[in-house]
Structure 1
């Protein structure tokens, strides 16, 4: 019996025709017209039951990368680098793809005292999550945001932004961008601009959006709400909120807070989602499997994560990649740990196929 005649219980062919089954003259004729048959490649594009994944569960250890990042500061002046970044490349995709997961780019950026990374804007959306150092700042559309350890700063698509350093010692932060998706759409580019004029008041996290549930009165019923009202999310506030949430969260539930737009309650950016989690020491936590890929950065503490059977032991500053549909268990060791999550769930929700199960 021809294998193509065999069908499963759902009425699907168990095997599909191969390219080699077609006459060479037929293949050449359609190829010459820039046409190809789908069925020999259909299972590669639409595998049964579970996506095909190149992304590997992987961890980048900060203490190993940090010396090379500091040496980059000696080897390449900011004028030659524009952004002095070491990109975290998932081995499943290779070094040339420059991706941590198929949709998430992650890099470690260094700025030294007195340096200024010039003003520009670009189509990819980005965030900065501060790892170490004091005196750094990011200015977004004239709003100057100080950069302290654990702070999250948004630089949304096509928003002007520049970085500087007014302190001493190195400042390092984690960059996370939706660059892989924007690049794949052939829509990635940047525009340079003159230095920004900084507004005299503090950033909105220090005045307009100090407490959840409280907004500027003028925001009520506003016909045109600001698209990105809060650019900076201070870690001091987030950490305190996690502590309060932990006190009322059952032990088998996640102590996790999402970063959202304070005017709408929606994710603060359209393509990438961000959250902070407190892991209770000595207790395994296994979230539901998700269709989203993610990257986790360790803010404080140490522990280990088991991702699809791969055990990765982590400590402060380390960064982990989690593939789509992965089975995951986290555990903190010694004391509670704090994690920062980046995922592509907002994009998947917008496209209508996000799942957790």
Structure 2
């Protein structure tokens, strides 16, 4: 490949003239912004141990009242991007959020899309756009862009969930902001039951149909788990026992930027995944898993989380010879497909 000129090859007076006009020569930096063959990646393969972070999260509850925090979160930062950037990958933000009994995290709405994967505890709820969504371990709750949402806790023990947002991308585009609001009036609960059976949804034939862009806000873990077990039983030779979280009326991804799915690893199963352009996040709901990527191997226990960069193959393994493992996955696939840069490499 042809060697390009460097910035310091240019006379100082010429460089100063460029700078005075807010001009920058491209050729000295061309290889860094368009590297040959494979993108330059900041995202590193990294693991966050729930056993290690949970005491710190509980301590945060002791040190900072909810009134001083609004959202009591420990951000899972990828060191490749710098801890101060508070991002797990180029487009994914992760945070572990704590809500204690009797607390209420006030209503707001924001431009980034968010989901909540419930990690532990009972008695909490999220109210989204007037729909009260109970929070049980393994449930996925959407708080899409522009929808009011708040969190409350009527139970007796701490409740923890994993936040997944497209905040890095929205922040990069200079469109990230939040609006504070008042406590919402509850206008509906358990609306996800309208979509409890695949292929059967409320019909708009004799009505004007739903005006909701996101008709389903809560995806109960009991339903997703049952679907995975049924898929494994009905198709024992299927390559991957995986279900996607989608909009039940359109079949599209449940949100616009990030994709979400649940995977079951059968006892003793090893699942090789091809190198794809999007980064991925793996969070263990039940069981355990080994994740190998980018010359690193992580052993994941329940509630552990790891991130893998794009363009590298990933291997998942269930070390248990007798019990399945259930994993929640978030990735950047919808974004890459919309941009036309989605890629799978052999």
Are 2:56 and 1:68 aligned? yes
Aligned residue for 1:120, secondary structure, equals strand
Counterpart-to-counterpart distance in 2, 1:307 and 1:57: 7
Contact 1:307 1:326 in 2 (8 A): yes
Counterpart-to-counterpart distance in 1, 2:111 and 2:206: 30
1:205 paired residue number: 192
Structure 1 unaligned runs (5+)?
1-12
Counterpart-to-counterpart distance in 2, 1:299 and 1:351: 31
- TM-score normalized with structure 2 length: 0.96
Are 2:40 and 1:52 aligned? yes
Superposed CA RMSD in Å reads 1.4
Structure 2 unaligned runs (5+)?
none
Q: What's the offset of the Cα at 1:127? A: 0.4
**Residue 281 of structure 1, aligned match among 260, 264, 267:** 267
- TM-score normalized with structure 1 length: 0.93
1:244 paired residue number: 230
Counterpart-to-counterpart distance in 2, 1:204 and 1:323: 36
**Residue 30 of structure 2, aligned match among 42, 56, 69:** 42
1:136 paired residue number: 124
Structure with larger Rg: 1
Q: Counterparts of 1:139-150 in structure 2 under 5 Å?
A: 139-150=127-138
Q: What's the offset of the Cα at 1:303? A: 2.4
Counterpart-to-counterpart distance in 2, 1:252 and 1:195: 46
Counterpart-to-counterpart distance in 2, 1:220 and 1:62: 49
Q: What's the offset of the Cα at 1:281? A: 2.1
Contact 2:204 2:210 in 1 (8 A): no
Are 2:277 and 1:300 aligned? no
Are 2:298 and 1:329 aligned? no
Are 2:344 and 1:345 aligned? no
Aligned residue for 1:217, secondary structure, equals coil
Contact 2:132 2:190 in 1 (8 A): yes
Change (3 A) 1:58 1:231: same
2:67 paired residue number: 79
Change (3 A) 1:221 1:248: farther
Q: What's the offset of the Cα at 1:348? A: 1.1
Q: What's the offset of the Cα at 1:287? A: 1.4
Counterpart-to-counterpart distance in 1, 2:270 and 2:74: 32
